[in-house]
Structure 1
């Protein structure tokens, strides 16, 4: 019974870590959706209306960010857009790792170290996922690039 508990705990922690890294790209759209939804609700929209507006705002943020990275020709612009998505992911990663580290780490200094490492890892993962999705294009304007059949 103890062995089954250890195996299930290990699987649960692994799934939790996978979810953190998989959802890191969506931190900025979630923050935007939350802000828009709270603003709409406080300005008199109903709960359903605020949820619909928040969902639309978050989805629009994600789509616009991915499209902007995909069509941007300048590497500096791509990096800036991906960084705008990675910073909220790093902040969210910091807080998640700091909260989880309170379970097993008693020293505040070590919790801060783990939280900073988690922020860097999750921010870099988010940045990489957004940059990798962008297809590189040739720099010569006006040329048609033919794909081999």
Structure 2
């Protein structure tokens, strides 16, 4: 019995680590799935659809990172950061809500925990996307 509790805690910890590690990739994943589905529905085979999905996801990730790192306008950087963080918030909300309901929490507590989890996952995604810009170079006048 002790071993099963220990393995459950380790498994839950692994899922939480995975959630935080993959939070910043929610938007590229969504782009990849959407483009793959579109390609498959328009006659591409499964292999081509997977290849197109990998390419589209990589392009979405790389373009976002390059744009955030090179653009210096705070408004545009805020929009790019929000574009990457908001899907992570949604993914974090649903992941924590599902884990809470699986753990036996009531509906109210599941929503409270899911909201807290969404904020934490969104903040993590925001920190990861902003860390791609590197240190600011300040010029002394």
* TM-based fold match above 0.5: yes
1:11 — aligned with what?
Answer: 10
Per the TM alignment, residue 139 of structure 1 is displaced from its structure 2 partner at its CA by 6.0
RMSD between aligned alpha carbons?
1.3
- Structure 1 residue runs of 5 or longer lacking an equivalent are 141-149
Q: Please name the residue that 1:104 is paired with.
A: 103
Which structure has the larger Rg? 1
Moved over 3 A (4+): 136-140
SS of 1:23's partner is: helix
Equivalences, count: 139
1:113 aligns with 2:112: yes
Unaligned runs of 5+ in 2: none
* SS at structure 1 position matched to 2:133: coil
Listed as ranges, the matches of 1:90-101 within 5 Å are 90-101=89-100
Give 1:76 shift. 2.4
Deviation at 1:99, TM superposition (A): 0.9
Q: Contact 1:70 / 1:133 at 8 angstroms: preserved in 2? A: yes
The Cα offsets for residues 5-24 of structure 1, whole Å up to 9 and x where unpaired, read as 22221111111100000000
**How far did residue 79 of structure 1 move?**
1.9
What TM-score, normalized by structure 1, do the two folds share? 0.88
Whole-Å Cα distance in 1 between the matches of residues 19 and 10 of structure 2? 14
